[in-house]
Amino acid sequence: TVEFENGASIDLRVFCARRGPPQRESMASKHKAAIFAKEYLDEHDVQHTLQSMVQHLLRDKPASPFEFMAEFLRKRARQDGGASTPQDAPSVVPKPPPAALVDPRSGEGLAQVWLRANPTVDKALASTRSSLGASLDLCLRASARGKSDAGIVACDADCYKVFHEVFDPVLAALHPDFTSEAHPLK
């Protein structure tokens, strides 16, 4: 109770509630959104374009960096739209092909080699999804740009269980002491 000089008073009550960890559904939907966002950014080569823009910005150090960035993006948009590019357009730094264009089974990672040797498992898992929506292709593509001996990345924890036919032999090859019995999935 807070009492004022004029005799009036106000009763205040404060309630404290502890927030628990985020609900699985909200985490799942956020993870799904992140997967789709990454696919979109890869499809449109946004990350490489921004990296190239920042490299040019730091190299050229223009007096007006925001105008420089806006012009860089306008020139890139004209390139994508098929319009002719002015001679002074910044050159784009050479890049690897977008992950979406890389055949996720063409590499020499352990997963790719194993899948080529076991095509029936590959075919059986083709339409399978983790609880958060990740496919085997997405797990394979996620490693396509990196230098991974495994050749596969678990896009979410459920991938280890859903795609265990691929992850178990890859993990066993990388870690000789690995057994799925010693590391059970919940």
Residue written as tokens 């032999």?
A: 169
Of 1-10, 33-42, 98-107, 158-167, give the lowest mean pLDDT range: 98-107
Residue 108: pLDDT above 70? Answer: yes
How far is Cα 81 from Cα 21, in angstroms, rounded to an integer? Answer: 45
Is the pLDDT at 89 greater than 50? The verdict is no
Of the candidates 126, 128, 125, 155, the residue with the CA atom closest to the CA atom of residue 28: 155
Q: What is the pLDDT of residue 124?
A: 93
Phi–psi pair at 89, nearest 5 degrees: -65, 140
Q: How far is residue 123's CA from residue 118's CA, in Å, rounded to a whole number?
A: 9
Residue of 23 and 164 predicted with greater confidence: 164
DSSP category for residue 9: E
Q: Report the pLDDT value the prediction gives residue 157, as an integer from 0 to 100.
A: 87
Q: Is residue 177 predicted with pLDDT exceeding 70?
A: yes
What confidence category does residue 22 fall into, taking pLDDT thresholds of 50, 70 and 90?
low
Q: What is the CA radius of gyration of the chain?
A: 26
State the Cα angle at 65 between 63 and 66, rounded to 5°: 130
pTM for this entry: 0.47
